[in-house]
A and B are shown apart, each in its own frame.
Chain A
Amino acid sequence: MNAITACFHDPLLQRAMLACLLIGFANGYVSAYVVLKKSALKIGTISHGLLPGIAVAVMLVGLSQWSVLLGAMAAALFIGLGSLFMSRTSRLDQDTALGILYTTGFAAGLIIIRKIGIRQKLDEWLFGGLMSLSDSDLWIAFGISVIAILFLTAYQRSILVMLFEPNVAMSVGVPVRWLNYGLFGVVLLVLVSSLQAVGCILSVGLLVAPAATIYMFSDRPAALFYGGGLLGALGSVIAFIIAYQTDWTAGSTIVMFFGALFLLAYVFSQKYGLLARRSK
């Protein structure tokens, strides 16, 4: 028990837990959109594309928070929009184009990172680095969380109408195309922020599981957003403390913790769980 209270005194750990709260809430909140949009896998591939962007940016302008942030954003944009462009200008579908683009980029990223000698950072980008956060990392996480939550809250009605029926959304005057661009941007930002917590390979876990868990209990979209956010924040902190106690990798523990929560909900939810369905 003493070890747990110790968590709250060590400044390094305080900082990591604050990051867990911020990043967890933003990811959980946005996960409602990802679940309702049914685009978890697409976003998973884009998250892998963050790595080559970071590598190229570090190679060009050196290592800093901003080069990592901007490089990651640029790469994700390039892969996301590039695959869309390829599907529109050839007979390929977007998933095929994504599959090729992100693996190519990821492979190139690995080579570049080894060549320019920043291998020690590679692990952090791949699997998260909660224990080595700077103040500016925290500020970036805070800024991203604020932008993501404000955007999704301000346009929640339009987003819901569009997710449910895009055609109806258009008929009542929702600017579907612009809203989609905005949402894509928000998802990218949130992915970049979760890079610090769980790394680019596992980031989708944090961006899907919280709302998916709530989804097993609720028929209210608002519950998915706020519930996802709360679960994301609390779950991340709890998982981080578990990781600290057990000396497991923090990012992996967080993702595994959410996976376990989801499995419990999937089996035992009184409303939509496996057992509830059986007994009906």
Chain B
Amino acid sequence: MNATQPHYHGDHICWGHSHEPHRPHTLAVKGLAVSYREVRALEDISFETACGRTVALIGPNGAGKSSLLKAMAGVIRPDAGGIFWRGQPLLAAHQEIAYLPQRGEIDWQFPITVRGLVEMGRYAQLGNWRRFREHDREIVDKSLEAMELKNLADRQISALSGGQQQRTFIARALAQEAHVLLLDEPFTGLDTPAQEMLQRLFRSLAAEGRLLIASHHDLATVSDIFDEVLLVRKRQFAFGPVAEAFTEANIAAAYQKSTS
């Protein structure tokens, strides 16, 4: 593995809009209720965060972490409540969100190369009919470079290590110019060096102004990787900066066996 740390050159991406004050963009979830296969998975979820941060979704298996991510990505329609990005319903700006599914949900044999997958990120901007131009190619190249995938660009995606696969999907989100990244268990199945590299990537992506929300199951690494934490098991047990919300008492409450 290359010793240099991958990082993205350039300013905070929010500051590209010069007519706006330098204020972080907020993501607000208000009174969200979600059902999955006709079973209520989540109830009364409300929190507010902003770009430039990394947020962990923590809770036991079946707590509704994936459902929350899917609802935010617009994959499942909420029963009640809403998700607002910069004051507007999040789905109105779907090209600003990138959803990265769990590894197990991806067909790794699909006939596509690393470059082909990252190019898919441009489709969200281009739609079906606008031409793929030099500008798009440059963005794809930059995204590949930022994730240190230049040398692997022509590999089929199953011929990659777990860490490289994860970086390929993040590169696609960069090519999409997504502002909000929703990641389902991105650290699962990675070896320690790959985990450490992904952790550094999380930092640099947040530093350039992106908002990363990831479900996570390894309680020991939460405070190293994330700024904020949402403790959830069907309902919300705590939300806030890791130091305040990720307390023994809150964790115990969220992981306590339900009495039903």
Binding site for B on A (CB under 8 A): 36, 154-158, 160-161, 163-165, 167-168, 170-173, 215, 218-221, 224
Closest residue on chain B to residue A155 by CB atoms: B128
The answer to whether residues A218 and B111 also contact, given A167-B75, A170-B74, A171-B74 and a CB cut-off of 8 A, is yes
| 0/1 string, B47-82, CB within 8 A of A gives 1 | 000000000000000000000001001110000000
Residues 113-140 (chain B) with a chain A CB within 8 angstroms: 113, 116, 120, 123-124, 126-129
Q: Is the CB of A172 within 8 A of B75?
A: no
Nearest-neighbor residue (CB-CB) of A153 within chain B? B128
Q: Please give, as numbers and ranges, the residues of chain A lying within 8 Å of B107 by CB-CB distance.
A: 164-165
Those 3 A-B pairs whose CB atoms lie nearest each other, nearest first: A171-B73, A171-B99, A172-B124
- List of A residues within 8 angstroms of B143 by Cβ: none
Which chain A positions have C-beta within 8 A of B75?
Answer: 167, 170-171
**B binding-site residues for A, Cβ under 8 Å:** 70, 73-75, 91, 94-95, 97-99, 101, 105-107, 110-113, 116, 120, 123-124, 126-129, 156, 176, 182
User: Are A165 and B94 CB-contacts (below 8 A) given A155-B128, A160-B120, A221-B111?
Assistant: no
Q: List 9 A-B contacts (CB under 8 A).
A: A36-B111, A155-B128, A163-B110, A164-B110, A165-B107, A167-B101, A171-B182, A173-B74, A219-B116
Q: Out of B95, B105, B116, name the residue touching A167 (CB < 8 Å).
A: B105
Q: In chain B, what residue has the closest Cβ to A216? A: B111
Q: A170-B74, A219-B111 are in contact. Are A161 and B105 (CB under 8 A)?
A: no
In this complex, the member of A165, A215, A220 whose beta carbon has the largest number of chain B beta carbons within 10 angstroms is: A165
A165-B101, A171-B74, A171-B94 given as contacts; is B116 within 8 A of A220 (CB)? yes
Docked complex Cα distance between A224 and B111 (Å): 9
Question: CB distance B95 to A219 under 8 Å?
Answer: no
Contacting pair A220 B113 (CB below 8 A): yes
B145 CB, min distance to chain A CBs, angstroms: 21
Interface SS, B side: mixed
Complex-state Cα separation, A160 to B99, whole angstroms: 16
CB-CB under 8 A from A218, the residues of chain B are 111
For B105, list chain A residues within 8 Å (CB). 165, 167
**Judging by beta carbons under 8 Å apart, are B128 and A172 in contact?**
no
Residues of A within 8 A of B91 (CB): 173
A12 to B106, CA, bound (A): 49
Query: What residues of A have a CB within 8 angstroms of the CB of B98 in the complex?
Result: 171
Query: Considering the chains assembled together, what is the distance between the CA atoms of A156 and B107 in angstroms?
Result: 18
Partner of A165 from the list B95, B106, B129, B156 (CB cut-off 8 Å) is: B106
The complex places the Cα of A164 from the Cα of B106 at a distance, in Å, of: 8
A158 to B126, CA, bound (A): 11
Give chain A residues whose Cβ lies under 8 Å from the Cβ of B112: 164, 219-221
From A161, A164, A172, A215, B95 is in contact (CB under 8 Å) with A172
> In the complex where A167-B73, A173-B94, A219-B116 touch, is A157 in contact with B123 (Cβ < 8 A)?
yes
Docked pose: A163 CA to B176 CA in angstroms: 18
CA gap between A138 and B176 in the complex, in Å: 44
- Cα A165 to Cα B117 in complex, Å, equals 11
| Smallest CB separation, B11 vs chain A (Å) | 25
In the complex formed, the residue of A with least CB distance to B100 is: A168
Q: Which residues of B contact A161 (CB under 8 A)?
A: 120, 123
Q: Do residues A154 and B113 form an inter-chain contact, with CB atoms below 8 A?
A: no
Q: Of all chain A residues, which has the CB nearest B93?
A: A173
State whether B94 touches A172 (Cβ < 8 A): yes
Name which of B107, B127, B128 has the most chain A CB atoms within 10 A of its CB.
B128
* Chain A hits for B101, CB < 8 A: 165, 167-168
Cα of A167 to Cα of B104 in the assembled complex, Å: 13
Q: Looking at the assembled complex, report how far the CB atom of B192 sits from the nearest CB atom of chain A, in whole angstroms.
A: 28
Which residue of chain B has the shortest Cβ distance to A35 in the bound complex? B111
CA distance A224 to B123 in the complex (A): 19
Residues of B within 8 A of A157 (CB): 120, 123, 126-128
Determine the distance from Cα of A220 to Cα of B153 in the docked complex, in whole angstroms: 13
Smallest CB separation, A169 vs chain B (Å): 9
What distance in Å separates the Cβ of B85 from its nearest Cβ neighbour in chain A?
A: 13
Residue of B nearest to A156 (CB): B128
Are B111 and A158 closer than 8 Å at their CB atoms? no
Q: Which residues of A contact B129 (CB under 8 A)?
A: 154
Docked complex Cα distance between A155 and B128 (Å): 6
Q: Known contacts A172-B94, A220-B116; decide if A167 and B99 are in contact (CB<8 Å).
A: yes
Q: A154-B129, A219-B112 are in contact. List 19 more A-B contacts (CB 8 A).
A: A36-B111, A155-B128, A157-B123, A157-B127, A164-B106, A164-B112, A165-B105, A167-B99, A167-B105, A168-B73, A170-B74, A171-B182, A172-B123, A172-B124, A218-B111, A219-B113, A219-B156, A220-B112, A220-B116
B106 proximity list for chain A (CB < 8 A): 164-165
Q: CA of A218 to CA of B112 in the docked complex: distance in angstroms?
A: 9
Complex: A105 Cα to B127 Cα, angstroms: 41
Q: How far is the CB of B182 from chain A (nearest CB, A)?
A: 8
Residue of B98, B99, B105 most packed against chain A (CB within 10 A): B99
Chain A residue nearest in CB terms to B114? A219
